[in-house]
């Protein structure tokens, strides 16, 4: 009788705890797709002002000012890791990748270290200015690109071929004298270029003074793969639930296309073109892009390309795994910007901790709505998942304290070279049916 009472008491306590999780209090800034998804999620209630919350999709300024002073219960979740900038600020990202590559060379040899050769020659300016000058003089006539380390929308970015072209930057007047990216036409001699984000990276611009730049050899100037005559790059989303141990999910979802400005694949810039169509936007779905590549280059070459991109996603996360503060309350939705050259080699352009969630077209709205819905499914505030899932909607679990196999089987298959990573980037995505089966079984 006593044992039965104890079991009944424990069951009631568990049920009570579960009932509490059916009501999720959330906070966020009003962004069209994000707010729509949160407000339409069953059992989720918006909290305004200083009310208590369970889930906060915050901006980085709030994180910097309030995280250490905020008490969070075990179930509470927040949308950034505290030192997210170790991966997303351009100079820190390159510093960590260079360090990680040297570590791999010491521990595993040059062949393994070569798997990190997916970003162009890059120098932290002004700290590495003299190293940059030495490299610059080895290849006269090569085009370089200067990027401020913590801005977005192409602001402050410019191309150059001569050292004297960066005198304005050295004098601290680059932002004042150089022509703005928004107004630069295709026929100019020096063209600026930028990243995708239309909103959020401005939250980061106060972290490092504007005069801090990276100088980078410009891959896209001469050797970029073109798509039906257009320059483009890929935006791929990776969701990290933990760094210790590392757990990363890869979406199956988007592609950006530049059609009006040379070297610009930034949607914030494209929207200013007189030829821009707000209903159609300037994006392709990744599935359509993969089909196009297969028709031109064959399935084996395309499979190798997408496998190389998987390598980029994981190596970048590994490069900061030991420096990111992995807090159980935090998750991060990263936006990777990938450029593909004429040899079908992928290059990392940058990583955004706050990828834009504003929709540029109806198709983009639908894509980002699905992306955010599935992000919330994986974050699982309602505690519906078992923890054994390898796919949730449009997300595939690609790393869980080690690579995740596409097929069920023992871990030593990886050593036998028959291991295939559980990623399906650009493949057919029957997410609605998968979600229906997943949650009906739960």
Cis-peptide, bond into residue 415, ω within 30° of zero: no
> Are 57 and 127 contained in the same domain?
no
Query: What pLDDT band is residue 228 in, cutting at 50, 70 and 90?
Result: low
Together in a domain, 102 and 152? yes
Record the pTM.
Answer: 0.81
Same domain membership, residue 252 and residue 293: yes
Write down which residue in 30, 56, 78 finishes a domain: 78
Tell me the residue range of the domain where 162 lies.
85-441
How many domains, in total, are found in the chain? Answer: 2
Which range is least confidently modeled, 126-130, 195-199, 229-233, 358-362?
A: 195-199
Q: What is the pLDDT of residues 305-318, one digit of tens each?
A: 999 999 999 999 99
pLDDT in tens, 295-304: 999 999 999 9
Q: Check if the beta carbon of residue 376 is closer than 8 Å to that of residue 369.
A: no
CATH of the domain at 243: 3.30.470.20
Q: Does 92 lie in the same domain as 71?
A: no
Same domain as 92, residue 18: no
**Distance between CA atoms of residues 198 and 137, nearest Å:** 35
* pLDDT value for 312: 97
Query: What confidence score (pLDDT) does residue 32 get?
Result: 80
Q: What is the pLDDT of residues 167-187, one digit of tens each?
A: 777 776 544 444 333 333 333
Evaluate if residue 232 carries a pLDDT over 90: no
| pLDDT tens sequence across 45-69 | 999 878 899 999 999 889 989 998 8
Q: Can you tell me the mean pLDDT for 29-48?
A: 91
CB 37 within 8 A of CB 30: no
- 6 confidence band (pLDDT: 50, 70, 90): low
What pLDDT shows up at residue 358?
86
pLDDT value at 263 more than 50: no
Query: Which residue did the predictor score with more confidence, 222 or 233?
Result: 233
Please tell me whether residues 220 and 281 are part of one structural domain: yes
- pLDDT at position 428: 81
The residue with tokens 């969701």 is 239
Residues 243 and 358 both lie in one domain: yes
Nearest Cα neighbor of 263 from 196, 185, 192 is 192
Question: What pLDDT is stored for residue 58 in this prediction?
Answer: 93
Strand order in the sheet with 24-28: 44-46, 24-28, 55-57, 77-78
Give the pLDDT mean for 378-398: 95
The answer on pLDDT for 411 being more than 70 is: no
Task: Quote the tokens at residue 115.
Answer: 């798997």
pLDDT per position as a tens digit, 236-250: 999 999 999 999 999
Range list of β-strands (E), 82-193: 122-125, 144-148, 158-160
Give pLDDT tens digits for 184-207. Answer: 333 333 333 333 444 444 444 334
Same-domain pairing of 326 and 407:
yes
pLDDT of 181 reads: 33
In sequence order, the β-bridge partners of residue 336 are: 236, 351
| Co-location of 63 and 161 in the same domain | no
Q: Choose one of 56, 78, 100: the last residue of a domain.
A: 78
> Which of 78, 107, 139 is the last residue before a domain boundary?
78
Do 49 and 126 share a domain, yes or no? no
Q: Do 224 and 257 belong together in one domain?
A: yes
Does 123 lie in the same domain as 61?
no
């Amino acid at each position: 009788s006593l044992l039965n009472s104890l079991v009944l008491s424990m069951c009631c306590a568990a049920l009570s705890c579960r009932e509490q999780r059916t009501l999720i209090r959330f906070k966020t800034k009003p962004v069209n797709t994000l707010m729509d998804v949160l407000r339409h999620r069953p059992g989720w209630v918006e909290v305004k002002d200083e009310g208590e919350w369970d889930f906060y999709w915050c901006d980085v300024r709030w994180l910097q000012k309030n995280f250490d002073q905020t008490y969070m219960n075990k179930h509470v979740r927040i949308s950034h890791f505290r030192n997210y900038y170790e991966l997303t600020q351009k100079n820190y990202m390159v510093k960590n990748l260079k360090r990680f590559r040297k570590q791999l060379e010491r521990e595993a040899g040059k062949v393994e270290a070569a798997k990190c050769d997916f970003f162009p020659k890059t120098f932290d300016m002004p700290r590495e200015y003299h190293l940059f000058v030495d490299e610059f003089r080895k290849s006269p006539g090569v085009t370089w690109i200067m990027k401020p380390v913590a801005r977005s929308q192409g602001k402050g970015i410019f191309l150059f071929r001569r050292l004297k072209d960066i005198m304005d930057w050295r004098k601290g007047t680059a932002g004042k004298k150089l022509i703005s990216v928004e107004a630069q036409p295709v026929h100019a001699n020096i063209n600026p270029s930028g990243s995708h984000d239309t909103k959020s990276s401005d939250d980061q611009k106060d972290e490092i003074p504007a005069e801090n730049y990276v100088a980078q050899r410009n891959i896209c100037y001469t050797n970029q793969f073109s798509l039906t005559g257009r320059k483009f790059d890929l935006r791929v989303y990776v969701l990290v639930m933990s760094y210790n141990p590392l757990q990363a999910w890869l979406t199956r979802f988007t592609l950006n296309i530049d059609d009006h400005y040379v070297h610009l694949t930034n949607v914030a810039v494209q929207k200013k073109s007189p030829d821009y169509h707000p209903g159609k936007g300037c994006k392709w779905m990744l599935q359509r892009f993969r089909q196009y590549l297969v028709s031109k280059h064959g399935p084996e070459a395309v499979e190798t390309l997408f496998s190389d991109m998987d390598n980029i996603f994981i190596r970048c996360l590994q490069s900061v795994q030991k420096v990111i503060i992995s807090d159980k309350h935090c998750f991060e939705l990263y936006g990777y910007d990938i450029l593909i050259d004429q040899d079908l080699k992928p290059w990392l352009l940058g990583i955004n901790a706050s990828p834009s969630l504003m929709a540029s077209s109806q198709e983009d709205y639908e894509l980002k709505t699905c992306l955010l819905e599935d992000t919330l499914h994986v974050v699982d505030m309602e505690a519906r998942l078992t923890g054994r899932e390898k796919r949730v909607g449009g997300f595939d679990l690609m790393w869980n304290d080690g690579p995740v196999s596409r097929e069920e089987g023992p871990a030593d298959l990886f050593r036998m070279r028959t291991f295939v990573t559980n990623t399906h980037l650009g493949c057919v995505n029957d997410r609605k049916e998968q979600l229906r089966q997943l949650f009906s079984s739960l």
